[in-house]
Amino acid sequence: MSSPEFKNPVVKWIDHRLPVFSFMHHELHEYPTPRNLSYLWNLGSLAGLALVTMIVTGIILAMHYTPHVDHAFESVERIMRDVNHGWLIRYIHMNGASFFFIVVYIHIFRGLYYGSYKAPRELLWILGVLILLLMMATAFMGYVLPWGQMSFWGATVITNLFSAIPWIGDSIVVWLWGGFSVDNPTLSRFFALHYLMPFLIVGVVILHIIALHRFGSNNPLGIDVSGKQDTIPFHPYYTSKDLFGAMVFLTIFASAIFFYPNFLGHPDNYIPANPLQTPAHIVPEWYFLPFYAILRAIPDKLGGVLMMFGAIAVLFVLPWLDRSPVRSGRFRPLFKMFFWVLLADCVLLGYLGGKPAEGIYVMLSRLATAYYFIHFLVILPLLSVVEKTRPLPQSISTPVTGGGMVSAPAAKRGKADV
């Protein structure tokens, strides 16, 4: 961990006074990273890539967009038809939101499977859940801006959630709206906040990375790094691996943008907002569907709202619900099984959220909602006590080198890497 020697005299002069080059060398070059990370560990850098993409395209869109009820819809159509490459930038931004959520959801389930939320990474996890909450608020407000039918009625339904709060609920909703319905004051404040919040996300992401670099990445075995033979420097090993992952991600992302740009959207949002006519079937964007299903599953307004927010709140306390000392699902046969049930349950909730609230769907939503909470509040605490975990390897390099001890060639290799 010594300070690097820079050959360039200008770099040397600057670094002596402002050690940014040392800092980057420390955190992005020599940063010791477990040698056994799988491709599931690419999702963090991909989320960063998605965030930067959203900020860059968003700032460009803001240059052409008009946050006024009389002009918003038309200004978006103008971006699509008249602004040079406006269609491309808007499609990147629109699909970018979906891809950001895809990446982040995989990132979260990776963390759930490999126990990345356990000591000493509890705060790292909590900051991540906070990022998810900020992303949801940002995505919701962004979806309102084109001022189509789904924008308007989505905004109406979601802001009305707050009216479920006893006594002060109605005043809060009027305060959020700046009027007696979703209208121009609502649109202009959502625009301002939609512009602000990505930068708050950047702030929390920085804290997230500081917390990550304190103890380094978790790994598929979920055991601590025991020495230099277990790690490799971040550059060039993981910079190149992340870059390869980014290329694969961008290929898929570009395919969506160029060939299926409206696949994840709703045709109703290409109809200008009409405050007197609710579309027959309103659904939120796909990434909110599991939460929407939970909201509708409860036959009580306040209860539904509480359960929906509870579905996220439970993630904040997850490190204290799962007390098993073993992190990785690889060595937890029962946990592994329930993990896949939870994943299936979340996918089912997503499916149900997109269906009308009637007949069999209502009952299924209730069962799936119940399982979601039972998983976190009952199964995980119970498993911590009753599960018989499989024996852990002695170190990260043991399964590679065989035997309990690090063999001489492996030790040498480990040294050469550093």
Partner 1 sequence: MSDTVENQGRRDFIVVATNTMLAVGAAAVIYPFVNQMNPAADTLALSSIEVDISGIEEGQAITVKWRGKPVFIRHRTAKEIELAGQVNMDDLRDPQGDLDRVEKPELLVIQGICTHLGCVPLGQKISEVKGDYNGWFCPCHGSHYDTSGRIRKGPAPTNLEVPPYTFLSDNVIKIG
Active site residue 285: yes
* Residue among 15, 230, 242, 345 flagged as catalytic: 242
Q: How far is CA 242 from the centre of its chain?
A: 17
Q: By C-beta, is 235 or 366 nearer to partner 1?
A: 366
Task: Check 107, 241, 355, 375 and give the catalytic one.
Answer: 241
- Cα–Cα nearest to 319, from 84, 107, 128: 128
Least spacing, CB of residue 294 vs partner 1, in Å? 13
Q: Does 300 bind partner 1 (CB under 8 A)?
A: yes
Residue 197 is encoded by which pair of tokens? 């919040």
Kindly tell me which of 267 and 356 has the beta carbon lying closer to partner 1: 356
Peptide bond into 236 cis (omega under 30): yes
Contacting residue, 130, 174, 200, 392, with partner 1 by CB under 8 A? 174
How many CB atoms are closer than 10 A to CB 58?
20
Distance, CA of 318 to CA of 413 (rounded, Å) = 38
Q: Is 156 in the site for partner 1 (CB under 8 A)?
A: yes
d(CA 19, CA 369) in angstroms, rounded, equals 51
Q: Catalytic: which of 25, 64, 68, 213?
A: 213
Looking at 30-38, 42-50, 239-247, 301-309, which segment touches partner 1 (CB under 8 A)? 301-309
Answer yes or no: 30 catalytic: no
Q: Tokens representing 90?
A: 């808007």
160 touching partner 1, by CB under 8 A: yes
Check residue 280 for interaction with partner 1 (CB under 8 A): yes
Q: Cα separations (Å) of 143 from 12, 136, 147?
A: 47, 11, 8
* 358 touching partner 1, by CB under 8 A: yes
Identify which range of 13-21, 140-148, 318-326, 351-359 contacts partner 1 by CB under 8 A: 351-359
Active site residue 213: yes
Please give the structure tokens belonging to residue 345: 């349950």
- List the interface residues with partner 1, window 177-216 (CB under 8 A): 177-183, 185, 189
List C-alpha distances in Å: 291 to 295, 296, 312, 334: 6, 9, 9, 26
H or E stretch covering 400: helix 398-401
Q: Is 299 in the site for partner 1 (CB under 8 A)?
A: yes
Q: How far is the CB of 15 from partner 1 (least distance, A)?
A: 41
Name the residue nearer to partner 1 (CB basis): 276 or 386.
276
As to burial, measured by CB atoms within 10 angstroms (0-12 exposed, 13-18 middle, 19+ buried), residue 276 is exposed
- Just list the catalytic residues: 213, 217, 241-242, 285
Query: Where along the sequence are the contacts to partner 1 (CB under 8 A)?
Result: 153, 156-157, 159-161, 163, 174-183, 185, 189, 275-278, 280-282, 296, 299-302, 304, 356-358
